[in-house]
Amino acid sequence: MALQSWKIGVLTTVCVAAIAVPARAAESELSRYRGVTLGESVATVIDALKAAPADVKVLRDRPSLVQELTWRPLRFISGATLEADPLAEMVLTFHADRLVRIAATYERERIAGLTEADLHEAVSAVYGVSALMSNSLATAQNAMERRTIGRWENADTLILLWRDRYPDRSGLLISAIAADAVMQQAILEGQRVEAAEAPARELALRTATAAAIVARDEKIRLANKAAFKP
């Protein structure tokens, strides 16, 4: 009984951490995690997480801006160790200055021994009844693949609880359904445009490189000519 209580306590900390959402409010709170909410601006998320603006990376700037922020909880403060946080990191993805996706991964040591049912139960305590129930009996075929062991969704938001067996990792993927689809389409369009422009870019690069070599050689020739004495 003590072990079971410990398991649930750990994963409740994993999921609740900065949200503390009662199960009856889960339907309206799927989009919120660790003090940030899908749809918020880059500046709002940075402020909420006390992150550094320089940590925001541009993944793509055409046809629209896609950015990414990787955030990890503090482990130390003034030389003293903080209470261990089960969260290893969050990767937050923004499209057109709006938070579209949150990918959370948990510390392996902090979930050691927890079964898929334990993970599922703890997340369900925060987000309510899952549309997909966990089955801890993995087949040989999918034992090494990422498995979705829990699913929560409404009209706007999708949450997937996943687990990898090798290495043993677990996490949550929280996404704004419509906005994520728009972002994926924008990424595909950007890749298409880049592929179409690649030959012209390659030609321009070769031309510039060749011109630089000619200019360098001419500079060397003139310097040697001026200094040459037969």
Mean pLDDT, each 10-residue run in order, the chain (230 residues) = 49 45 51 95 97 95 95 70 80 98 93 89 90 57 74 95 87 97 93 80 82 88 86
Does 193 reside within a domain? no
pLDDT at 43: 97
What CA–CA distance (Å, rounded) separates 148 from 103?
14
Does 37 reside within a domain? yes
In 3D, which of 110, 157, 154, 150 has the Cα closest to residue 134? 150
Identity of residue 65: L
In 3D, which of 55, 63, 65, 113 has the Cα closest to residue 86? 113
Identity of residue 132: L
Q: Which residue has the tokens 């990787």?
A: 70
The tally of domains found in the chain comes to 1
Indicate the pTM of the whole model: 0.73
Distance of CA 193 to the CA centre of its chain: 25
Looking at the chain, the number of H-run helices and the number of E-run strands are 5, 11
Does 155 reside within a domain? yes
Does 67 reside within a domain? yes
Phi/psi for 37 (5° steps) reads -130, 135
Does 224 reside within a domain? no
pLDDT at 79: 57
pLDDT at 142: 55
Q: Which residue has the tokens 């993944």?
A: 59
Does 210 reside within a domain? no
Contacts of range 200-206, beta carbons closer than 8 Å, 24 or more positions apart:
none
Identity of residue 103: A
Helices assigned H by DSSP within 87-135: 116-127
Does 18 reside within a domain? yes
Does 192 reside within a domain? no
Can you say whether residue 160 is alpha, beta or left, with left for phi > 0 and alpha for psi between -120 and 50 degrees?
A: beta
- 86-121, pLDDT tens digit by residue? 899 999 999 999 999 999 999 988 888 888 889 989
Print the domain residue range for 82: 2-183
pLDDT at 26: 44
